[in-house]
Structures are given as structure tokens and as C-alpha cells.
Amino acid sequence: MSTWVRNYLAPVVAPRDWPGQWVDLESWSDEDLARAFGVALEQLDNHLAAITDARSLATAMAANSSGLDLDLFAWSCANDDQAAIAEQLATAKANSGAEERWPRLRAQFDRVAQRSGVSLAA
């Protein structure tokens, strides 16, 4: 997988609730594989069809993010979307706030916000 696909496309097309994330080629029959593949393609089609503009793309990315996506955060800051900013910070802190690296991560969020003229609450 190319770096571009891994960094930009994968978060958009990788819903966490896909039932076909795991395939057992050893024990599944051809019919089982065909059925799972069909379900996965249908889910992918529905997922991508819901992405119609920048807002829906951001929503899809946020749904599949641990909150640490600084590109998504920068987009929210540039659009002064206070609800999205607060939600992403809360998600990031919930997922990574107890880690030793949290102060460095928070400083990155602060720098991104500052570039857009957004002030973050402490």
C-alpha cells in the first residue's frame, strides 16, 4: 500500500464496523468468501456514497480516527468549527491523554490551532 493511500485514503474507506475485516482462507468455502466479499463491497459503496462534500469527508474521517489526525484538526480550525475542534480534542485526550506523550501531542494541536487563529481552552 502506498504512503498516500495509507495516510489519506485508508481512514476514509476503512469503517471500523465492517463485518468482513477478517477472512479465513483456510476454513471458509468459496461461497462464504463470495458472500463476505459482496457484503463488504456493498458497505464500501454505501460508505463512499455518503461522502459528497468536504463536511461529509471530515465526518467520515473523524468517525475512523483516534483523534490524532492533525490534518482533520487543521481543517476544523480553518473552518472555525468549534464543535468539531472540541470533539476531536476530547477524543484525542480520551484515547491518548494518559500517555507520556500527551503534552507533546497537545502542543501540536495548539500549534495547528494557532496557525488558524483559533484559541484552545486549556
What pLDDT tens digit does each residue of the chain (122 aa) get? 444 444 444 544 454 555 555 667 778 788 888 887 888 888 888 888 888 988 888 888 877 777 888 888 999 999 999 999 999 999 999 999 999 999 999 999 999 999 999 988 76
Enter the C-alpha cell of residue 56.
Answer: 461529509
**What's the total number of domains in the chain?**
2
- Same-domain status, 7 and 37: yes
Nearest alpha-carbon partner for 76 in 86, 84, 68: 84
- Same-domain status, 62 and 109: yes
Residue 70 lies in a domain: yes
- Same-domain status, 73 and 111: yes
- Same-domain status, 45 and 91: no
- Same-domain status, 15 and 64: no
- Same-domain status, 68 and 104: yes
Side-chain half-sphere CA neighbours of 54 within 13 A = 7
Residue 121 lies in a domain: no
